[in-house]
Amino acid sequence: MSPEGRRPPFPVFDAHMHLDPEGRNVEAAREFQKAGGTGLMLVSKPYQSITVSSVEDFIRNFAQTVRLAEDVRNQTGLQVMVAVGPHPAELPRLAGELGIEEAKGIMMGAMRAAGKMVADGNAQALGEIGRPHFPVDAALWEASNEILAAGLGIAGELDCAAILHTESATVEVFAELAAMAKKAGQTLGRTVKHFSPPVVREEDNHGLFPSVLVGKGAFEKALSQGTRFMVETDYIDDNRRPGAVLGPATVPRRTLDLFSRGVLTEEQAFKIHQDNPEKVFGK
């Protein structure tokens, strides 16, 4: 239910949310639902309870995401899609422990394992994959790009979405990522820039699909450029950082606020929250 006690007359989809067995877990999903949410993309992350040092550890990590999704579906009735993949921030840590070549091999193996989960129907997308959002040395940057290219190639073969975690997306970064996706055979419209600024026009994002972080004013700015985008909170469900990045109720609350003020039409809401996720994620 929305805060007004009414269900919105359209779906409300959060395109990027994390849950953690050590966090609020299903309770956070219930908060999303109570605010008016109807569906979400649950994305794997480095879990507090799993230290990853092998491909097998990554597989346990991905299986945890699938279990969390099942719990949310069973206990809330929400529509939950799943994305699995080796988080790019794991590479620098693994390289520090094992050396860069062994770390790269583990990340590549994890990417193939994630692709198998998509092929088997246990997940719908690869993600979040990419490269670190913080400075790293040239060798780590090159290895990260190789791993990302491999992931994009797997997504292209599977015809599934790839959800990208990278540095802040400028027009130049969008162009570079789009070129990588094309070279790997991945569909641009299924290459999702997670944590995207409100850059909606294809001439600006080079055909990648923006998943806009709905910080203050971002939804409105994106909407002023069109409806070719999704919205997300990147909620991380870490009790050490309550409400980070944005709280689980943020997407439905912002959506319903814009709708109630006449900024967002019902037709636009269906496009952003239903048509676009269906087209990108194949739900």
Domain assignment present for residue 1? The answer is no
Average pLDDT score over residue span 70-94: 98
Rounded CA Rg of the chain: 18
Residue 73, pLDDT above cutoff 70: yes
Domain assignment present for residue 7? The answer is no
Which pLDDT score is estimated for 119?
98
Confidence of residue 38 (pLDDT cuts 50, 70, 90): very high
Question: What is the C-alpha to C-alpha distance for residues 71 and 11, in angstroms, rounded to an integer?
Answer: 21
Largest CA distance in the chain: 55
Within 10 A of 108 (CB to CB), how many other CB atoms are there?
Answer: 17
Residue 28, pLDDT above cutoff 80: yes
Write down the mean pLDDT value for the chain: 96
Residue 40 bridge partners (DSSP): 14, 80
* Residue 206 belongs to domain spanning: 13-281
Domain assignment present for residue 264? The answer is yes
Domain assignment present for residue 3? The answer is no
Residue 9, pLDDT above cutoff 60: yes
Which pLDDT score is estimated for 6?
61
Domain assignment present for residue 262? The answer is yes
Q: How many structural domains comprise the chain?
A: 1
Confidence of residue 7 (pLDDT cuts 50, 70, 90): confident
Which pLDDT score is estimated for 283?
54
Domain assignment present for residue 256? The answer is yes
Domain assignment present for residue 125? The answer is yes
Average pLDDT score over residue span 248-259: 97
Which pLDDT score is estimated for 1?
46
Which pLDDT score is estimated for 8?
82
Domain assignment present for residue 43? The answer is yes
Question: What is the C-alpha to C-alpha distance for residues 263 and 152, in angstroms, rounded to an integer?
Answer: 36
Instruction: Give the DSSP letter of residue 67.
Output: H
Distance from the first to the final alpha carbon of the chain: 23
CATH code at 244? Answer: 3.20.20.140
Question: What is the C-alpha to C-alpha distance for residues 176 and 166, in angstroms, rounded to an integer?
Answer: 11
How do residues 258-269 score in pLDDT, each as one tens digit? 999 999 999 999
